[in-house]
Amino acid sequence: MNKMNAAILGLGGMGKTHVTAAQKSPYVDKVYGYEPDADFRVKRCQELDIIPATLEEIMQDESIKFVSIASPNETHIELAEMAMRAGKSVLCEKPMGNTLAEAKHMCDIEAETGAFLQIGFELHYSKMYQHTKKWISDGLIGDPVNVQCRYYCCEFHKKNTWRSNSTGSFLIGEKLSHYLDLQRWFFDKTPENVYSLSAAKVVPYFNHRDNHQIMTRYPGNCVGTLNFIMYIAESHTGHDPLRDLLEQQADDGHFLQYHICGTKGAIENDVFRRRYRRWEFGDSPEFMTSKIVEEITFPPADDQIYFHNVEEQNMHVIELVATGKPSEMTAREAYETMKLCFAAELSEDTGELINFNDPRLD
Ligand SMILES: NC(=O)c1ccc[n+]([C@@H]2O[C@H](COP(=O)([O-])OP(=O)(O)OC[C@H]3O[C@@H](n4cnc5c(N)ncnc54)[C@H](O)[C@@H]3O)[C@@H](O)[C@H]2O)c1
């Protein structure tokens, strides 16, 4: 097997997961790491057992064929462009850009250079969502008409970080792009129009909105909704070590649920209950019926695999690169999700129903 070297740009929380995936991949020999601050770079690389390198060293080293980007959102476009122009294959964390123009630029650079580019929509590799997609594709719920997501949490991002200092509808791209992307994936259609509302902010030190109610219409009279509130659930700094955190969160205000309703049945994904289920609709002489026909649960040890499978995504993408295969989620597809995010943002800014073909989204 021909091994290649890999480099991870940004070695914070997510960067560590990217490093682990590269270290575990049988296709990777050496793993390099980059952080802008030279002292922190050396210290962090020691902790992670990888080789520190400057950006110039990484870009010039032809043995480094794969670069993954796990730095703050505003740096994605610059780093992705630099890496693609240096002939690297790139896996870049979502969001694809801080503006739609940046996301479009990333697509243009990919087309111009012919580089491999995949955006980290890791839920496509998470078992619960993969299984849901299969149930839908196999026709088990008929035609999906309604995709509802309810996401309540208590992630009071730390004060004065790149997250809390970001402005506008930052959370739509940063956090909700995953969940709008799933909605698009489940329907497998291009949205027609979007309307989104945001109530007054509750988290005072966020420079951005902290709640979003996004409604999207898809062809065939299908509707997707995403109801996101950042501050309802209990916060858990130093949670009870005798209790499983997810179990505790399942009953204290946390929700991350999808309900996908079709013409012949329905599906529920419930992260905090570690469970997903499928209903089948039937008929009787008097009324329509509904029955739960499948229920799948998973143990705490499998949490990442079922609903946050970054590691497997990365290992898989590295394999695609090493074996010369194209990216599985094209840049154009990721761009469509980013377009949906920015359409929702534009709706919140203007109070208008936004047509997906609105020239302001070009
Ligand atoms: N896919 C997911 O589920 C998921 C989850 C969390 C974060 N993310 C994404 O991962 C990225 C990083 O998030 P995080 O939580 O690890 O943030 P973080 O703040 O923990 O880490 C970011 C790191 O990048 C470094 N950095 C800053 N500027 C840089 C530059 N110009 N080049 C390289 N590194 C730079 C910072 O010093 C920091 O160590 C974000 O884009 C975020 O949206 C994705």
SS3 labels along 131-152: HHHHHHHCCCCCCEEEEEEEEE
pLDDT at 321 > cutoff 80: yes
3 state DSSP class of 359? helix
Answer for the pair 178, 185: CB distance below 8 angstroms, yes or no. Answer: no
Label residue 87 by pLDDT band (50, 70, 90).
Answer: very high
Answer for the pair 28, 66: CB distance below 8 angstroms, yes or no. Answer: yes
> How do residues 286-316 score in pLDDT, each as one tens digit?
999 999 999 999 999 999 999 999 999 999 9
Mean pLDDT of 222-228: 98
- Which of 19, 71, 96, 312 should be mutated for ligand 1, with most atoms under 8 A from CB? 71
Atom of ligand 1 nearest to the CA of 308: 3
3 state DSSP class of 36? coil
**pLDDT at position 193, please?**
98
Report the distance separating Cα 304 and Cα 163, nearest Å: 23
With a 6 Å cutoff on the Cβ, whether 75 touches ligand 1 is yes
DSSP 285: S
Q: Distance, CA 350 to ligand 1 centroid (Å)?
A: 30
Q: Distance, CA 13 to ligand 1 centroid (Å)?
A: 7
With a 6 Å cutoff on the Cβ, whether 314 touches ligand 1 is no
**pLDDT at position 327, please?**
96
Q: Name the closest-CA residue to atom 36, ligand 1.
A: 10
pLDDT at 237 > cutoff 80: no
> What residue type is assigned to position 232 of the chain?
I
With a 6 Å cutoff on the Cβ, whether 82 touches ligand 1 is no
Query: DSSP assignment of 170-232, as one string?
Result: HHIIIIIHHHHHHHHHHHTS---EEEEE-PPP--TT-SB--EEEEEEEETTTEEEEEEEESSS
Q: What is the pTM of this model?
A: 0.94
Contact partners, residue 136, CB within 8 Å, separation at least 6: 144, 186, 260, 262, 267
Report the distance separating Cα 184 and Cα 332, nearest Å: 13
Mean pLDDT of 329-342: 95
Mark out the alpha helices in the chain (DSSP H runs): 13-24, 38-48, 55-60, 76-85, 100-113, 127-137, 162-165, 170-171, 177-187, 245-249, 303-307, 310-322, 331-350
User: 5 is written with which tokens?
Assistant: 């070297």
Spell out the domains of the chain, with CATH numbers in brackets.
4-119 (3.40.50.720), 124-307+340-350 (3.30.360.10)
**pLDDT at position 251, please?**
82
> How do residues 148-204 score in pLDDT, each as one tens digit?
999 999 877 889 999 999 988 889 999 999 999 999 999 999 999 999 999 999 999
Atom of ligand 1 nearest to the CA of 122: 1
Report the distance separating Cα 292 and Cα 266, nearest Å: 9
**pLDDT at position 289, please?**
96
**pLDDT at position 158, please?**
86
